[in-house]
Amino acid sequence: MFILNNSDPVPLYKQLYNQIREQILTGKLPADSKLPSVRHMAIELSASCNTVDGAYQELFAEGYIYSRPRSGHFVSALDRDVAPQTTSGKPGKCDYLPGPPSNFTYDFHPARLDPESFPTELWRKCFVDSLRRNSQQLVQYGDPQGDWGLRCSIQSYLERSRGVLCDPDQIVICAGLQQSLDIVSNILKESHSVVAVENPGYHLPRSVFQSHSYTICPVPVERDGIDLNALKTSNSTIVYVTPSHQLPLGYVMPVANRLALIEWAESGGKFIIEDDYDSELRYHGKPIPSLQGLRPTGNIIYSGTFSKILSPALRLSYMVLPYSLLATYRQRYRDYFPSVSLLEQRTMATFMVQGHWERHIRRMRMIYKKKHDILLRSVESHFGTRAVVIGQGAGLHVVLMLPETPHSEAEILDRALQKGIRLYPFSDFHVNDQPEVTTLLLGFGGMNGSGLEHGTAILSQIC
Amino acid sequence: MFILNNSDPVPLYKQLYNQIREQILTGKLPADSKLPSVRHMAIELSASCNTVDGAYQELFAEGYIYSRPRSGHFVSALDRDVAPQTTSGKPGKCDYLPGPPSNFTYDFHPARLDPESFPTELWRKCFVDSLRRNSQQLVQYGDPQGDWGLRCSIQSYLERSRGVLCDPDQIVICAGLQQSLDIVSNILKESHSVVAVENPGYHLPRSVFQSHSYTICPVPVERDGIDLNALKTSNSTIVYVTPSHQLPLGYVMPVANRLALIEWAESGGKFIIEDDYDSELRYHGKPIPSLQGLRPTGNIIYSGTFSKILSPALRLSYMVLPYSLLATYRQRYRDYFPSVSLLEQRTMATFMVQGHWERHIRRMRMIYKKKHDILLRSVESHFGTRAVVIGQGAGLHVVLMLPETPHSEAEILDRALQKGIRLYPFSDFHVNDQPEVTTLLLGFGGMNGSGLEHGTAILSQIC
């Protein structure tokens, strides 16, 4: 017997559907039993034929009942053992909202940007402009390699500012380094299996290449970048480097080593992945030109990002593939789809074409230079000779070596936490070994001047 | 000898830098030759010391010269054989803009949306609102699994409309199916190696799993979905299915088969990937509830997208991971970054919270039902009994079997092209075999009523 309730907000046909479905699933209505005809059921329930017909149609569409011509509807045979769970089996309900993120008075995150720095109003204008121009383009998939206009803007910016010489055809728009490396891993894996990475170095490339079953070969970093002799004696055929601002140590690879690295790559079809993640941010002199520009036709995969200057939350980056990889890339990714929203790509293109991007870089360079200088002054006045600063003059962080401290990194991180200071382990950058002396990573991008001063003062007391 | 030109827009220090660099690279200034002191060079050039110092600092920073305390600056030793190419070696210059995309009078693309349908004004409002609220959040990386607010909105939508029962904790925001499948491939690859796919079926899953070195096992599709007996005798431990609207044939898997499929998965830790790509679009009766809802605690990975209703260009999709995979997912992707822009995620969350999403679905369902009906009427009046229509009543395309045509698919596609009609090969959905009769895929989302009528009329003449 089924009961329909007119005051229930659930539509009548749905109420009937639910009740019949429940009886089928619990076995009360066995397989092949005949349901009353639509007309009879309607009379029985004092409901309209439409109501009953609606319920039957849904049950039929989902396979709970079947129909025989001129005979009516019958219950389908279901495997009782695997009957579906009712809603009581539901894992949990979302009636809670996320709490606020953990707060620290001083957060030395190495890649946090200035919280007031996002160009909200300009971005809004560029977005609205690109939305209005492109709303008809939103109904289809775009170019998997990225919007052509944005690629042209990036090409001309890279040539002017980074000495990268390429064609927009070589540029792939990506949603961050991890995606670029995923693509590179994929297109190189047929003939390569060992990747050299800097040690200490960024964890992400290790992680991505490992997930593609590559062997990771950590190579020490010297004051002039990755150790070329160690690289040569390894059996790596791909190397991931950060030549313009080594992550995390901040060293610049001199041109002689760059040329030697290019020579290494050219002897035997090896590949260099140049990650030029934050080279816009140099506070003394001009940015170091790219390695790619030294040999535009070489086996160099150049990677750049908008994360360090504009926003890491936009997930917008790019890479420049050498001509030798373009055919494989296209063949492999032809049937794929773009990974970045067309609206965001067009917004960025508009932002660049209107000159906002390069103005924004100059503005950010001034903001971060100020923070950088405050941090260095604070370190000098509070740590004095107890600390050796490495990697200053660029980027969003410096490295502090503390040869005299009695504390390990873990102890300092823990002591800092108790004082409301968040530090990020430098040791995460090391692959198998550990730094010889306790070393701290101090990001300054997200903090204001007084935070940098006070944070450093407190740090100096606990180190 | 160096010459500085005051009327050149290039800054003086940069002119000097360029000239010295050129001489070093061409060997005119040999290794270890001493450069004049800053003061002497300044006098020689009638320039300021700052100009010369600026040039020397840049050359030094890039490693072209080195300095010895109290001796001055010297040219570094560079490997001449691999000296960098000058800008004349540049591959090409971007002084051209992209041409318009190829145009067809009638484009039967199977996943194109109505060109007037994007809710531009509402999207603008939601975007501006989320930009203003979140501009301070843009300076940091967000949750790699996706914005919590959007996950809550999706959870509640899925429960209400698709019968999917899950917790926002299980939802991962992705930039499209290819990324979801990349993640799934990664976290399952240690204990799985054979994936069953529907045949005919969507090419993307085959391609993604293949790139992760899985073996692909094509399983025939019957009128009640994937052939379960064939699946059971295969040695697959993962299956990719489209149970609510089989792609491309449009069949619905009845509940008995769904339960049997769930049972298959539960016997031995196998996994079902349920791709629910367009189930919002059913034109008769309510959408078919998800397979996941029949067994919310089962080994079912549910995938959904905003591409078919809102826009494929936004690259916004989601998947629901079973609890059994969450730990592996988090462990593997903890150090990764989100793949979708925070602004876009928040815009979508606002769009959903304000009720626009469900209103938009209802609006689109009406628009596409109209187009669907026009297409079916046109096929009936122009093809009559020459065509058998499959998969009607849902989605953005129907399938047309042409048992009597003397032409092959390739011939028809070619003849169509000459008449300004773009068709997409149905045979691409087949893995190793070919359809027994010539079969066409007719997408109707992107065309208007008269385009559908005329396009079908012309098609009927050339088939």
Chain A residues near residue B346 by CB distance under 8 angstroms = none
**How do residues B26-46 score in pLDDT, each as one tens digit?**
888 888 888 988 888 888 888
Pair (A231, A337) in one structural domain: yes
Q: Final residue of a domain: which of B331, B354, B377?
A: B354
Pair (B77, B142) in one structural domain: no
| Interface subset of A 438-457, CB within 8 angstroms of B | 445-446
* B135 is a domain residue: yes
DSSP assignment of A225-278: EE-HHHHHHS--SEEEE-TTS-TTT-----HHHHHHHHHHHHTTT-EEEEE-TT
Contact A112 B175 (CB under 8 A): no
Residues linked to residue A225 through DSSP beta bridges, in sequence order = A222
Contact B138 A311 (CB under 8 A): yes
- A366 at B interface, C-beta within 8 A: no
* B210 is a domain residue: yes
State the number of CA atoms in the 13 A half-sphere of A251 facing the CB: 20
| Interface subset of A 130-169, CB within 8 angstroms of B | 131-132, 135-142, 148-149, 152, 155-156, 165-169
Pair (B371, B302) in one structural domain: no
State the number of CA atoms in the 13 A half-sphere of A271 facing the CB: 23
Please state, in angstroms and rounded to a whole number, the distance separating the CA atoms of residues A49 and A53: 6
* A274 is a domain residue: yes
Pairing of strands B317-320, A439-443: unpaired
CA A15 to chain centre: 45
* B1 is a domain residue: no
Among A87, A120, A141, whose Cβ lies nearest the Cβ of B313? Answer: A141
Contact B295 A141 (CB under 8 A): no
Cis bond upstream, residue B220 (ω within 30)? no
CA A370 to chain centre: 28
Pair (B64, B128) in one structural domain: no
How deeply is B410 buried, as exposed, middle or buried, from its count of CB atoms within 10 A (0-12, 13-18, 19+)? exposed
Residue numbers in chain A where pLDDT is lower than 70: 80-103
Mean pLDDT over residues B171-197, rounded?
96
**How do residues B371-420 score in pLDDT, each as one tens digit?**
999 999 999 999 999 999 999 999 999 999 999 999 999 999 999 999 99
Among A111, A165, A335, whose Cβ lies nearest the Cβ of B91? Answer: A165
Mean pLDDT over residues B318-341, rounded?
93
- B228 at A interface, C-beta within 8 A: no
- Sequence-separated (6 or more) residues with CB below 8 Å from residue A425: A409, A410, A413, A441
State the number of CA atoms in the 13 A half-sphere of B383 facing the CB: 26
State the number of CA atoms in the 13 A half-sphere of A116 facing the CB: 5
How deeply is A276 buried, as exposed, middle or buried, from its count of CB atoms within 10 A (0-12, 13-18, 19+)? buried
DSSP assignment of B94-159: ----PPPPP--SEE--TTPPPTT-S-HHHHHHHHHHHHHHHGGGGGS---TT--HHHHHHHHHHII
DSSP assignment of A33-44: PBPPPHHHHHHH
* A399 is a domain residue: yes
Residue B103: its pLDDT value, please? 66
Q: Look up residue B166 and give its two tokens.
A: 């899950």
Chain A residues near residue B155 by CB distance under 8 angstroms = 94
Please state, in angstroms and rounded to a whole number, the distance separating the CA atoms of residues B441 and B420: 16
Residue B86 belongs to a domain with what CATH number? 1.10.10.10
Q: Final residue of a domain: which of A331, A354, A377?
A: A354
**pLDDT higher than 70, residue B306:** yes
Instruction: Determine the residue among A182, A211, A299, A314 to mutate to test chain B binding: the one whose Cβ has the most chain B Cβ atoms within 10 Å.
Output: A211
> What whole-number percentage of chain B has pLDDT above 70?
95
Answer yes or no: pTM beyond 0.95.
no
State the number of CA atoms in the 13 A half-sphere of B249 facing the CB: 19
Q: How far is CA A92 from CA A367, B157, B162, in A?
A: 46, 15, 17
Among B111, B256, B262, whose Cβ lies nearest the Cβ of A63? Answer: B256
Residue B425 belongs to a domain with what CATH number? 3.90.1150.10
Pair (A344, A402) in one structural domain: no
Residues linked to residue A34 through DSSP beta bridges, in sequence order = A74
Contact B285 A312 (CB under 8 A): no
- A113 at B interface, C-beta within 8 A: yes
Among B77, B114, B186, whose Cβ lies nearest the Cβ of A211? Answer: B186
Pair (B331, B223) in one structural domain: yes
Which domain range does residue B192 map to? Answer: 120-354
Residue B351: its pLDDT value, please? 96
Distance from CA of A328 to the nearest CA of B (A): 13
Contact B259 A79 (CB under 8 A): yes
Q: How far is CA B323 from CA A16, A95, B81, B171, B259, in A?
A: 33, 19, 58, 10, 20
Contact B340 A204 (CB under 8 A): no
Residue B86: its pLDDT value, please? 45
**What is the CB neighbour count within 10 angstroms for residue A98?**
12
Pair (B193, B67) in one structural domain: no
* A101 is a domain residue: no
**How do residues B250-292 score in pLDDT, each as one tens digit?**
999 999 999 999 999 998 899 999 999 998 999 987 778 899 9
Distance from CA of B28 to the nearest CA of A (A): 16
Mean pLDDT for all residues in chain B: 90
* B175 is a domain residue: yes
Pair (B136, B221) in one structural domain: yes
Residue B102: its pLDDT value, please? 55
Q: With cut-offs at 50, 70 and 90, classify the pLDDT of residue B92.
A: very low
Please state, in angstroms and rounded to a whole number, the distance separating the CA atoms of residues A198 and A246: 9
Mean pLDDT over residues B43-63, rounded?
86
Residue A95: its pLDDT value, please? 37
**How do residues B207-233 score in pLDDT, each as one tens digit?**
999 989 999 999 999 999 999 999 999
**pLDDT higher than 70, residue B310:** yes
pLDDT: which is higher, B177 or A334: B177
Instruction: Determine the residue among A343, A360, A424 to mutate to test chain B binding: the one whose Cβ has the most chain B Cβ atoms within 10 Å.
Output: A343
In chain B, the number of structural domains is 3
Distance from CA of A64 to the nearest CA of B (A): 6
DSSP-derived 3-state class of residue B9: coil
Q: Final residue of a domain: which of B323, B354, B385?
A: B354
Distance from CA of A79 to the nearest CA of B (A): 7
Pair (B283, B148) in one structural domain: yes
**How do residues A401-419 score in pLDDT, each as one tens digit?**
999 999 999 999 999 999 9
Chain A residues near residue B113 by CB distance under 8 angstroms = 138-140
Residue B89: its pLDDT value, please? 39
Please state, in angstroms and rounded to a whole number, the distance separating the CA atoms of residues B462 and B405: 9
CA-wise closest residue to B334 among B228, B187, B201? B187
Pair (A253, A148) in one structural domain: yes
* A220 is a domain residue: yes
Pair (B275, B129) in one structural domain: yes
Pair (A134, A252) in one structural domain: yes
Among B14, B62, B337, whose Cβ lies nearest the Cβ of A288? Answer: B62
Chain A residues near residue B160 by CB distance under 8 angstroms = none
Residue A285 belongs to a domain with what CATH number? 3.40.640.10
